[in-house]
Structure 1
C-alpha cells in the first residue's frame, strides 16, 4: 500500500488540496450528494451542510440521503432482514442521484461519502454509470482495502479486502495500475493512525493481537489525491472542520471563507423520527438500525435551562407524525437548548437533549429507543453520544456527570457513546461536556419506561 500517492499530512484546517482548473465555482456550483456510512443516517451530515451553506452553497443543492436499511449484510450475497447488499446500496444511490439531477437540472453531481458510503460511490461510478454523472468524489475514512484482508476469513463480507467485492473495485483500471475510475476526480481523506477501521491489529473488530493485513493507509487509492489528517478518528475524516476545508478546496480550487458555523437568529428545524427494526423471522438479530419513518410517533419540544436541564414552561412544539415521519417544522429560540421528547408504541419515551442549534436544518433526525435488557435494573439510564466523531481520552477534554466517560478506553478513538446506569432514585440534572460543548439534561426514571440521551452537535 505504500505505493499509493499521499499528498501530505496537515495540521488543523489550513489545508491545501489542489483541484483541476475546471473545478466548479460561483454560479456553476453543482448539486452535492452526501452518502452516510454503515448504520448511520443523513443527519450525520448536519454540520457539514451548515458549513457549505455558510460559504454560499445554496441549500437546495445540498442533498444528504437516507439509506432505508443502512447496515451491511454479514454475507453480501445472502439476504438478511433489515440489511442491504452492495448491489442494493448502489441501486439506491443511483436512484437518488437521478432524482437530484432531475430536480436541479444539473448534468453532474459531486458525491461526498463516509465509510461504507464510499463503497456505494465507487460501485456506482465503476458499474452503475456514475462515470458520466459524477464530476468529483470525496471519500472520508472509507476502508477501501478492507477492514481486514485475511485469506479465508469472512471473505463474503463486503468489508473483506480479499473478498470479491473489494477485489473487483480495486482492480487496476489502466496501465498505471490506478484503482479509481476516470474521468471522475477523486479525493480520499484518512487519519494518520487513529481510524478504528484502518488498523494493523484487530482490536476494534474483536480480534486483539491478530493482524488484519490492513495498514493505516488502507483508505488511500492509487490514482486519487490522498490526504492525511493527523489524529482524526474514523468519522472525523468526513465530518470535521478540517475535512470540510479539504473537501471545499478539492471541489472549488479555492479556500472556504470559514470553517465555522455562523448562527441564524431563528433557526427552523425539521427532520424525521425513526425507530429500530425487530426481525420476526430472525429473533437472534435483535434490534437493528433503520432510517424508516415511524408514523404515529409523538414529539414534544421544550426549551430548557442550560444549567439544570429543567423545562422553561410548556411545550413549544407538539406533533403526531404522519407517514413521512417528519416532526417539524419548528422555529427554535436562538441560543436556547432544547429537550426533544419522542414517544411511540413499543418504545421507551426518549428524552433527547441538545445544545442550542445554530442554524435551520431538515436533518434533525430523532430516533425512538428501547431499553437494553442489561439496563432494566437501573433507576435512570443516560447515554452521552457523539454522532459525528468518537471519544478519544488522550485527545479530547470531556466529562460525563463530572467523571470520566464509562466505556471509553484510555487510548484510541473507537467509541462514540457512553452510558451511565444510575442506581439512585429521584430526578436531578446530569451534564456532559466535550471540547467546549456542554449539554445538561434530567435523569428521568426508567421505571416509567423512559430513556435519556445527551446528543452532541459538533
Structure 2
C-alpha cells in the first residue's frame, strides 16, 4: 500500500503525543503485518492499529495490507474475474512481508490474520519456508480446519477437503518450530464454525466441523466466549491477546489515546458488478463535511474536496478528534454515497472508502435508503442492543451473529431528516438522501 507523503508526515508530527518507549525497546518490538479476511480491506484494522499505537507501539512498525482481489474463487484452481486463488493471496502477502522487512530493517515480523487472512499466513510459514522471517503468527477466527467437510465444492478454499487445507493440515502439527502461533476463536458464536450448514447455504446439512475448527494443533489456542467471527480479530478483547502474545506483556490500556489533529487518508476502491475489490478508483469526487453529532446537519462548507487519481487516494485531510463527519463519494459507476462517521480520535492511512452497492430489487421502491453498518463485527440479537430509527431491525438474523448491515427503507416525507442508529453504547446519526437522485446513506460504526 502506497502512503501519501503528506499523511505520513502528519502522523510523524503527531507521534510525540504517544507514550514513547526507549529506542532500544522500540527496536525490539517486531513490525506487525495485519491481514484482512475474505472480501474485506485494511480499514477493518484501523481501531486495532490505534490501540497498538496508544500502547506505545511505533506507528511505522504497524502495517495493514489490502489484497487486490480479496474474494476467494469458487474453485481455487479455476480462474474467476476479480477473485483470487490461494496462491495469489500468498504471493501478495510474501511481497508485503519483504517490503515491511526492508522498510524497518527487521529480520522477522509478526503476522496477524482474520478469517481467510490466516490462510496465506500459514501457507507462507508452513509451505514456503517463511518461518525464518516470521516471529509470531496470530490467526483470528480463521477456519483452519474448514468451514465444512463436504464432497461438494471440494475445490473451494474453505472446504476441509481442499488442496490447500489438506496440505496445511496433513501433519501431526499445524505449526512450525521457531515461530510462535496463537489461534483466537469464539466458543460457539462464530458463523463460520458451526455444525449446521445454515451459514454455508445448506441449512440442516451437517458441516462436519464445529466451533473448534479455528484451533491449531501445536499452537496456543484461546477461546473468547461470546465473540463473533470478526470480533475474534477487531475487538478490544482480541487486541489484548495479540498485544500480550507479541509484545510479551499486558497493554496499559484498551482505550484509544486521542491526538490533537488527526490526519486521515485512504483509497476509494470499487465494487464493479457488486464484486468487492480493493482496486483503486480514479475520478471519484470525495467531499468531507463536519456534521452535528445530534442531527447529522452539515456545519459549514466542505473541509476537504479532492478528485482521486490512478492510485485512488482521496486525502489527506486534517480534522479534530471530536468531529463527526459526512464523507461523500461520487465514483463512476456507483451510487453517490453519503457516509456518516463518528469522530476519528487518531490519524489513519487506511480510511478506505467503498462506494455503496446499488440498491437491491426489494429496496428500489423506497424514497431513501439508510444502511447501518458495523464492519468490525456482526450484530447479534439478542446479544446486542441494535436500534435503527427507533426500532429493532427486523432484517437481522437472530441467534449466532451473522449480519453486519441493517437497512431503513424510508418514505418520501423522511428525506432530509435525521436517522439515528444505536449499537450498544455507540450512537451515530445520519441524514436520509433521495434514492431518486442515485444517493444512498451509509451510517458506519467505528467499534
> TM class by shorter-chain length?
over 0.9
**CA distance in 1 between partners of 2:344 and 2:119 (Å):** 31
Taking the TM superposition and a 5 Å limit, the aligned residue runs for 1:186-201 are 186-201=181-196
Q: Which of 251, 262, 266 does residue 261 from structure 2 map onto?
A: 266
Partner of 1:154: 153
Show CA shifts across 1:234-268 (max 9, x none).
00001111111001111122101111112112111
| In 1, Cα distance between equivalents of 2:49 and 2:320 | 21
User: Structure 1's 244 and 373: CA in aligned 2 closer, same or farther, altered over 3 A?
Assistant: closer
**Root-mean-square deviation over aligned CA pairs:** 1.2
What corresponds to 2:197 in structure 1? 202
Residues of 2 paired with 1:263 and 1:401: CA distance? 30
**Structure 2 counterpart of 1:417:** 405
Between 36-45 and 429-438, the greater mean CA deviation after superposition: 429-438
**1:323-338 residue pairs with structure 2 within 5 A?**
323-338=310-325
Query: Is 2:393 the counterpart of 1:398?
Result: no
Select the structure that is richer in strand: 1
Q: Which residue of 2 aligns with 1:432?
A: 421
1:14 matched residue in structure 2: none
1:217 pairs, out of 212, 224, 249, with 212
Question: By how many angstroms is 1:26 displaced?
Answer: 4.4
1:190-339 to structure 2, matched below 5 A, reads 190-278=185-273, 287-339=274-326
In the alignment, what sits opposite 2:51? Answer: 51
Distance in 2 (CA, whole Å) between partners of 1:206 and 1:423 is 33
Shift of 1:36: 0.3
Is 2:375 aligned against 1:381?
A: no
Is structure 2 residue 173 aligned with structure 1 residue 178? yes
Stretches of 4+ moved more than 6 A in 1?
none
Task: Supply the distance in 1 between the matched residues of 2:39 and 2:25 (Cα, whole angstroms).
Answer: 33
Instruction: Give the TM-score of the pair, scaled to structure 1.
Output: 0.90
Q: Separation in 2 of the partners of 1:132 and 1:344?
A: 43
Report the alpha carbon displacement of residue 373 of structure 1 after superposing the two structures with TM: 4.0
> Can you list the C-alpha shifts for 1:122-165, whole angstroms capped at 9, x where unaligned?
00111223111101000000000100012x12110010012221
Unaligned runs of 5+ in 1: 1-23, 279-286
- Post-superposition Cα deviations, 1:27-50, rounded to whole Å, max 9, x if no partner, equal 311110000000000001000000
Contact 2:155 2:163 in 1 (8 A): yes
Partner Cα separation in structure 2 for residue 129 and residue 96 of structure 1: 16
Tell me how far apart the structure 1 counterparts of residues 89 and 27 of structure 2 sit (CA, whole Å). Answer: 31
Give the Cα–Cα distance (whole angstroms) in 2 for the partners of residues 63 and 324 of structure 1.
18
Query: 1:47-86 maps to which residues of 2 (within 5 A)?
Result: 47-86=47-86
Distance 1:454 1:252 in 2: 35
* Residues 373/217 of structure 1: CA separation in 2 closer, same or farther (3 Å cut): closer
What secondary structure is seen at the aligned counterpart in 2 of 1:245? helix
The residue that corresponds to 1:19 in the other structure is none
Q: 1: distance between equivalents of 2:31 and 2:68?
A: 22
Deviation at 1:102, TM superposition (A): 0.9
SS of structure 2 residue aligned to 1:352: strand
Aligned residues: 422
SS state of the match for residue 77, structure 1?
A: coil
Say whether the 8 Å CA contact 1:33–1:109 is kept in structure 2. yes
1:365 match? 352
1:376 Cα deviation after fit: 2.1
**Structure 2 unaligned regions, length at least 5:** 1-23
Superposed CA deviations along residues 6-31 of structure 1, whole A, max 9, x for unmatched, are xxxxxxxxxxxxxxxxxx96431111
User: How many Å separate the matches in 2 of 1:45 and 1:53?
Assistant: 12
Aligned to 2:96: 96
